[in-house]
Each structure stands twice: as C-alpha cells, then as structure tokens.
C-alpha cells in the first residue's frame, strides 16, 4: 500500500540530504509535505530496514542519512518503494478456457518487466545529490 511511497520517500530523503548532520523529526518532515507524521514514520521504517537512514528516539530525536547522498541513486529508492511499475492488470482472473485469457497476465508481466528495466536504467543514472541540487 501507499501509492505515493516513492514520491514521499524521495521527498524525505531530499530533505535529509539538505541537513546531512542533523536528526530531523517526523513532524518537521510531515510539515514540508503536508502529510500525517505517522505516515512519514512508516516510510522511514522502510528506509531503516534497508539501512538508508538511522533514527534516534527521545527528545531531539529524528532521522538522518546513513550514507552520503552521492551514493544513493533514484533507482535504489525506486526498488525500495516499488514492487514493480505496471500498466495495470484486469482485476479478475481471466477465463482459463480462452487462449488469450489463459496467458494474458504472463505476457503482460513480460512486458512490464521490460519496462521496469528501462526505468531502472534511467534512474540508476541519477543520484540523490543530483536530484536534491535541483532545489
């Protein structure tokens, strides 16, 4: 769940990269993107799981980057926040007695894997630093 996962996570990381030595609170981060702090903390939990950031509890606590923004690519963030980009699937199981219905999802998968490879290739070339410098 969370459809804005990538955008939210990238926004969080962009802010963290602006203050690489400070622990920023979920409240502060939430203020910039106008979302509920709990949602921010959920995304931060995901970032921690992947050792991109560390958090400190308690007063003056917050979150900061664990490694230089230069060493984080947008593809890293993509992979962290997306199972896979798709152009969608028909919601119900298609009819297995129809040659097209029987195989459509497999063929869509193949197509979508190709698309994801292209996206990854594109994003691999952009570092968090490069993105962050646009602001």
Partner DNA sequence: ACATTTGTAATGTATTTTATTACAGTATGA
Partner DNA sequence: TCATACTGTAATAAAATACATTACAAATGT
Q: Quick one: which of 64, 82, 124, 129 contacts its own copies (CB under 8 A)?
A: 82
Count of helix runs (H) and strand runs (E) in the chain = 6, 2
Q: Quick one: which of 26, 73, 127, 132 contacts DNA (CB under 7 A)?
A: 26
User: Quick check: 5 and 81 in contact, CB under 8 A?
Assistant: yes
Q: If binding is defined by CB under 7 A, does position 22 make contact with DNA? A: no
21 binds, among its own copies, DNA, none (CB under 5 to 8 A by kind): none
For 55, the enclosing helix (H) or strand (E) is: strand 53-56
Question: Distance of CA 52 to CAs 32, 63, 99, Å?
Answer: 20, 10, 45
- Between 42 and 124, CB nearer to DNA: 42
Residues that bind DNA (CB under 7 A): 1-5, 25-27, 35-39, 41-42, 44-45, 48, 55-63, 88, 91-92
């Amino acid at each position: 769940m969370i459809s804005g996962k990538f955008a939210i996570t990238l926004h969080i990381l962009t802010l963290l990269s602006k203050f690489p030595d400070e622990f920023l609170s979920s409240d502060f981060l939430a203020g910039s993107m106008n979302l509920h702090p709990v949602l921010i903390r959920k995304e931060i939990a995901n970032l921690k799981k992947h050792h991109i950031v560390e958090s400190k509890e308690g007063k003056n606590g917050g979150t900061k980057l664990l490694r230089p923004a230069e060493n984080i690519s947008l593809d890293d963030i993509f992979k962290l926040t997306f199972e896979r980009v798709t152009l969608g699937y028909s919601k119900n199981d298609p009819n297995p007695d129809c040659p097209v219905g029987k195989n459509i999802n497999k063929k869509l998968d193949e197509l979508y894997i190709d698309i994801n490879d292209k996206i990854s290739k594109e994003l691999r070339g952009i570092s968090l630093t490069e993105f962050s410098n646009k602001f």
